[in-house]
Amino acid sequence: MSTLTIRLPSDQHERLKALAAARGTSINKLFEEFSSRALAEFDIETRFRLRAAKGDKKRGLALLDKLDRAHSQPDR
């Protein structure tokens, strides 16, 4: 495990302490949660971009058009 020192404005630090307390956790766990979420989002975006770069743009747009048409039809 690594140690990280960050600098925050005092008011932001106090608000984060309050948020952690409201969640019943520590600031360390709060930042661990935030960083895990940010990394997961980054990984998802990276995988999406890699797959999109390999894909067929015309086919992808056609699939989106098909989805739009399916959702625009009234419920039966």
DSSP letter for each residue of 44-66: HHHHHHHHHHHS-HHHHHHHHHH
pLDDT at residue 76, rounded to an integer = 55
**Mind listing the pLDDT tens digit for each residue in 38-69?**
999 999 999 999 998 898 889 888 989 999 99
pTM of the model: 0.63
CA distance 8 to 60: 43
pLDDT at residue 37, rounded to an integer = 97
pLDDT at residue 52, rounded to an integer = 86
pLDDT band of 75, cuts 50, 70, 90: low
Query: Of all residues in the chain, what percent carry a pLDDT higher than 90?
Result: 70
